[in-house]
Structure 1
Amino acid sequence: MKSLRFEISFTTITSIAVVSTLIISLSIYVYEKLYIEFIATEVEAIAQNMAIDLLDYIDEPAAQFNQTQILLRLEEYEYVETANVYDDENNLLNSYVGAAGLSVVKNSRDEALAQSSMKFDRTPENGEYSQLSLGMHNLESKVVVVKNIGEMSFPLGKLILTFNLQEALHENRRRYVILVAPSVIALTLLSLFISTRLHRRSLRPLENLIKTMDSVVDEQSYDVTVEETNKSETAALSHAFNNMMANIKSQSQMNAQKNLLLEQQQSKLETLANFDVLTGLPNRQYLMKTLSSLLAKNQRENTELCLMFLDVDGFKNINDSFGHDTGDKFLLHISAIMSRVLPTNATLGRLGGDEFLVIVDSVSSHTDVEHIATNLIDSVMKAHDVNRLRLDSSLSIGIAVASECNYEASTLITNADVAMYRAKKEGKGRLVWFNSAMFEDTQRKIQISMRLANALENDSFYLTYQTKVGPQKDIEGVEVLLRWHDEVLGLVSPAEFIPVAEKADKISLISLWVINQTCKELPQLIARFGSHIRVSINLSAHDLNNTEVTNCILNGLNSGEISAQHIEFEITETAYMNNFGVANSFFEALKKHGCHLSLDDFGTGYSSLSYLTEFNIDTLKIDRQFVSQIGQSERSEKITVAIITMAKSLNFAVCAEGVETEEQETFLLAHDCDLLQGFLYSRPSTLSQLQHQVATK
């Protein structure tokens, strides 16, 4: 690839050569013009002098000595070709052939004249110059001078001189070139040298700019500048380059900052994706990846891995009693304690809520795992000071072994979870190893979960009703209770399938089915028990948080599909407390439509009294654990009386559930209880059964 310097140098040399050639050509042309003019002047003068000198000898015979002597003066002029003397009748008297004429005509004057006539196309047709008029004639490369000898009015003859300028011009041109060429060449070389130096000097800023740009490419450094020269073009280019570098540097710094910010954000995202926001422990996603990786490693190495499923006992009560802020701080506190007591081969992570996992890698013996679990239980079972509160708790731990489930992660977690629930059933604050006997319970739950998906489609659910009677034992209302009979599992208790449905996020679909089916059977209930009958439908905490359920109820009330005066919604105290804000706004909307609200299981929570004045309810239901102790526990009786008195003072109706004996009935009616519900009056029955029971009484 040609460089700019080469191109400029080549252009300069070519320009100088062309200009020099043109100058030399012009100077030669001018020189020849001047030379011809000089020769013409000189020839004019010679001819004039010779014409004057021949005047005295014109009358002599031809070829006389005196005439010849005068003509021989022309020998000193090397470019004289011929000289002819004519008398007044144009007769040739004498002639002279000079050196120029001899070079053209070598044999004779006649031949020279013949050749001369051939050479000049503009000579007279007869081939003689004697026919030319007086004066000077330029005939191509020849100058012919015709001079009168004697007076113009009385001519005695004429002199014709011929000068051949071709050789003269050629010779003078050669001498001129020889003389001038060295100087021209020297000047050309000098100009080339000077121009090269100047080019190099002029191009130096550009070369520096190129070197700087190469360094930018090689070193990836944009903190560079070039000197701005006093030449407008290079100064503009250097200025533009410096501005470009400044902009690139600025953009590079901004990009570096953005990259740093992106890296920080990516790190935060990875942290959020893999670690629990509250405790900073590995979250479910990270635990699953870690567990899968460790299971594959232990299976390859034929070593053992154990998984602990941890649940904090009593955390729900702490959360409900002291609020979520205290609950979160308590979880953070015990997470830090558990992390400190774990060995290096154990990984602690939070599944969610109050559930944790501990992965124990490369287990050497079950004793070591039990030692780790015991340390965890002991560390949590101590009293903890959180938010200026002294809180007590414990851990229920289920332990499963990887080799017993063929190193399958999902099965291992399920086994540990089952063992943890067994630990809770056995009294909490303890560890339980998973065994094959627990597998049947697990399989039962799995079957329930799988069959639940088709239960609604197959119409496997049905409604039962339990009556509520007044002081006169008249049926004032009924509570809707859901039952499920599966063709494979048989009759499945709500205590079994409701927790599974909640975990599988199907509980709201079931609630919607219950509401729709109740509305379908409601006309028969009204027809059988009267227009005063009120049907109670239970809502779970999941229902309150599901807009599909709440919107369906409100839309049904607006359209009239749900009869507000005959429908009462029941919610447990705990569900109300955990969703207080959502529940109150929803219940206010229900109250505007004329629905009745009932608070179920009252007295089992921890914040009932502090929030009772804010509950927008109509009926307070006394939990069966107090009713069942009437006649057996004086304390339970006092609590029952206190609840009834408090409810009456707040203008709530009171319903006691779990009434099974006449002694309980007598006590409750004696203390002004409004409604009674229990096996003493009826067991949960289908609509047809309930109608038959009433008809037979």
Structure 2
Amino acid sequence: MKSLRSEISFHTIASIAIVSGLIIGLSIYVYEKLYIEFVATEVNATAENMAVDLLGVMGEPAGSFNQAQVLLRLEEYEYVQSAGIYRNDGVLLNSYIGSANQKADQHSLTATVETAEVSLLSDDSIVENLPEGLHHIHSKVVVIKSIGETSFPMGKLVLAFNLEDAIKESRLRYITLVTPSVVVLILVFLLLTTRLHRRSLKPLENLIKTMDSVVDEKSYDVKVPETSKVETAALSRAFNNMMTNIKLQSELNNQKTALLEQQQSEMEKLANFDVLTGLPNRQHLMRKLAALLARAQMTNSEVALMFIDVDGFKDINDSFGHDTGDKLLLRISSLLNQSLPDNATLGRLGGDEFLVLIDNVSSRDEIENIASKLLKAADNTHNINRIRLGSTISMGIALASNCNYELSTLITNADVAMYRAKQEGRARYEWFSLSMYEATHRKVQVSTRISHGLAHGDFYLAYQAKVGPKENIIGFEVLLRWYDEVLGHVSPGEFIPIAEQTDKISQITLWVVKRACEELPLLIKEFGENISISLNLSPQDVNSSEVTDFILGGLASNDIPAKHIEFEITETAYMNNFGYANSFFEALKISGCHLSLDDFGTGYSSLSYLTEFNIDTLKIDKQFVSQIGQSERSEQITVAIIQMAKSLNLLVCAEGVETKAQAEFLIEKGCEILQGFLYSRPTPLKELLARRADKFVI
């Protein structure tokens, strides 16, 4: 690649050569013109003198000595080609052939007239027609002079000078003399211009070196001095400004890069570690567990998984708030993490669920020893937000080899074992067994089919009659039944707890409320305007804004006929959601609905909170009704409940009435509403409407 200096030098040399050549050529041209003019002037003067000298010899015969003697004066002129003396009639009297026209092998001063004539005719045939004077013909100078007076000429003298060789020789001599000087001048000029170029390009070279150093060293804190030359100063100034901007931009980019790296580190931490506890999160745990299982399968080693759930955490969260719950989880996770060996990893799966991954398991005893330490560490008392809270955990344990090292199956197995630990009394661990899986598989099937059943009409309502003291029908309790094409008949005692555990109970409640309101007009038409229906609410329904908003919105728009609707909730559910439940039920009362407290007498604080419940009806649990006639204590409790309800102006409903004796006892003691198999089993609407109303009367 050419450098700028070499290119400038080449252009300079080429320019000098061209200019020098033009100057030399022009000077040669001018020199030749001046030379020809000089020769012409000299020839003209010579011809003038010879014409004067020939006046006295024109009368002599042709070829006379005197004539030839005059012509021989031309010997001193090297480039005379020829000369001739002519009479007025054009006859050639004498001639001269100069050295410029002689042949190398034959030249003679005594050339014959004929030869001269031939020479003149051959070379100067056109001179006869030329007027007197000086003429330039090609490279020749021809002078024609009259001999004698112009008015009375005696003849004419013709001189021809051939300047071609003279010019060539003169040109060669000129070039020979001038060329060395020109070459020396060119070399001196080149040397001078090279030094000037180098000096002029020095700032540019410094700039290039500085730029190369920037590329090599990646340092933008550089500057170049500004010279006195406008162009290089502007270039240096632009470079310095550019470097200043690059430096500022680089510093800004470095700051942004540092910030991005920090954010990336934080994002990676957020992506892999739990924000609350700082433990590995679900994503991190799944990746690590997958790697452990792959390695264990290749080396035929064992991996154990512990699925941990904090006992009663939901109640703590609901009762004391999420801040207290979060602090409790943080304390428990710290205690658990401190109790683990080096080959175990604790991570938070979500909520109050944790996983422990144990690699290179040597024996079952090793796992049970770790499990015992974790149970002991979690069994502790904590003072959080001035509240004294106890904590325990339930744990399920599964081995990778028992599920062919399948990740999802291993987690499911440990989860199933954890739920068995919950069922067996909590604060304990359970090893996974195949029998647990079968029970869990049934739960998973039930949970999965609930949404399908609601969408495809597999659920239906059954109605159980409520009768008054005179055995007349005064209402119905709405009960839910489910027949699934895969599972067959599924008992409410089975699917309701599963629906509550999987957060599907609210979907069921909404479906029941909608369907009951659709079927209510048919019941009213068949059994009278005073008929009401009782709908059961789950504890989760009371906490669900979707359910409460739907019910209150339906009451406001009359889609739910308030005077025909009674909502039932268990005492325990009311107590666990006392604050929110009271405000919700107050809104129901204002709308015109009736409220019933179900399963009364089974709660842990019935009497202390009974006066706080804004209810209309108290339902006596069937465990007391079933003992009437068999247990005097149960009868006394039943009577006490009825009397207490009377004193609070509440209606009393006894459920589970199955015998005539039970009905008579309850009616005698003042019970206003009876419900049980004695009067009616839960019956689908179609069958209910097909029966006559009087068939429900004893």
**Which band: TM-score by shorter chain?**
0.7 to 0.9
What corresponds to 2:631 in structure 1?
none
Instruction: Note the 1:337-486 alignment, pairs <5 A.
Output: 337-452=335-450, 454-456=452-454, 459-466=457-464, 477-486=475-484
Letter of the aligned partner of 2:441 in structure 1? Answer: Q
1:643 pairs with one of 603, 609, 613: 609
TM-score scaled to structure 2, two decimals?
Answer: 0.81
CA apart distance, 1:63: 4.7
Higher deviation after alignment, 352-361 or 441-450: 441-450
1:656 pairs with one of 604, 619, 622: 619
Counterpart CA distance in 2 for 1:474 and 1:197 is: 129
What per-residue deviation string (whole Å, max 9, x for no partner) do you get for residues 182-240 of structure 1? 22222333334444444444445555555555555555555555555444444555554
1:608 pairs with one of 572, 578, 581: 578
Change (3 A) 1:601 1:686: farther
What per-residue deviation string (whole Å, max 9, x for no partner) do you get for residues 381-431 of structure 1? 221121222211222222223333333333333332233233333332222
What corresponds to 1:326 in structure 2?
324
User: Is the Cα–Cα contact under 8 Å of residues 309 and 397 in structure 1 kept in the other structure?
Assistant: yes
- Number of paired residues? 651
Counterpart CA distance in 2 for 1:528 and 1:424 is: 48
Change (3 A) 1:668 1:402: farther
Change (3 A) 1:232 1:471: farther
Residue 118 (1) aligns with residue 111 (2): no
CA apart distance, 1:35: 0.9
What per-residue deviation string (whole Å, max 9, x for no partner) do you get for residues 562-603 of structure 1? 43443455667xxxxxxxxxxxxxxxxxxxxxxxxxxx6456
Letter of the aligned partner of 1:608 in structure 2? Answer: F
Instruction: Note the 1:2-41 alignment, pairs <5 A.
Output: 2-41=2-41
Counterpart CA distance in 2 for 1:652 and 1:501 is: 27
Change (3 A) 1:198 1:165: same
Change (3 A) 1:413 1:114: same
Letter of the aligned partner of 2:642 in structure 1? Answer: T
Counterpart CA distance in 2 for 1:545 and 1:506 is: 13
Letter of the aligned partner of 1:656 in structure 2? Answer: K
Counterpart CA distance in 1 for 2:474 and 2:3 is: 108
* Identity over aligned pairs, percent: 56
Change (3 A) 1:62 1:416: closer
Letter of the aligned partner of 1:646 in structure 2? Answer: E
Letter of the aligned partner of 2:616 in structure 1? Answer: A
CA apart distance, 1:13: 2.9
Letter of the aligned partner of 1:25 in structure 2? Answer: G
User: Is the Cα–Cα contact under 8 Å of residues 96 and 116 in structure 2 kept in the other structure?
Assistant: no
CA apart distance, 1:480: 2.6
User: Is the Cα–Cα contact under 8 Å of residues 132 and 143 in structure 2 kept in the other structure?
Assistant: yes
Letter of the aligned partner of 1:671 in structure 2? Answer: S
What SS is found at the alignment partner of 2:84? Answer: strand
Residue 695 (1) aligns with residue 696 (2): yes
Supply the RMSD in Å over aligned alpha carbons: 3.7
Residue 678 (1) aligns with residue 655 (2): yes
What per-residue deviation string (whole Å, max 9, x for no partner) do you get for residues 103-126 of structure 1? 598463533442343335xx43xx
CA apart distance, 1:561: 5.1
Change (3 A) 1:47 1:488: closer
What corresponds to 1:575 in structure 2?
none
What corresponds to 1:632 in structure 2?
none
Change (3 A) 1:488 1:84: closer
Change (3 A) 1:154 1:331: same
What per-residue deviation string (whole Å, max 9, x for no partner) do you get for residues 228-267 of structure 1? 5444444555554555544444444444444433333333
Residue 96 (1) aligns with residue 62 (2): no
Change (3 A) 1:543 1:475: same
Higher deviation after alignment, 283-292 or 247-256: 247-256
Higher deviation after alignment, 172-181 or 400-409: 400-409
What SS is found at the alignment partner of 1:178? Answer: helix
Residue 627 (1) aligns with residue 597 (2): no
User: Is the Cα–Cα contact under 8 Å of residues 542 and 581 in structure 2 kept in the other structure?
Assistant: no
Counterpart CA distance in 2 for 1:458 and 1:63 is: 152
Letter of the aligned partner of 2:346 in structure 1? Answer: L
What per-residue deviation string (whole Å, max 9, x for no partner) do you get for residues 19-74 of structure 1? 22222221111111111111121122222223333445544555555444443333
Counterpart CA distance in 2 for 1:457 and 1:468 is: 30
Change (3 A) 1:156 1:113: closer
What SS is found at the alignment partner of 2:360? Answer: strand
List gaps (5 residues or longer) in structure 2.
626-634, 658-673
What per-residue deviation string (whole Å, max 9, x for no partner) do you get for residues 161-195 of structure 1? 33222222222112111111222222333334444
User: Is the Cα–Cα contact under 8 Å of residues 395 and 418 in structure 2 kept in the other structure?
Assistant: yes
What corresponds to 1:49 in structure 2?
49
Change (3 A) 1:160 1:534: same
Change (3 A) 1:106 1:520: same
Letter of the aligned partner of 2:186 in structure 1? Answer: T
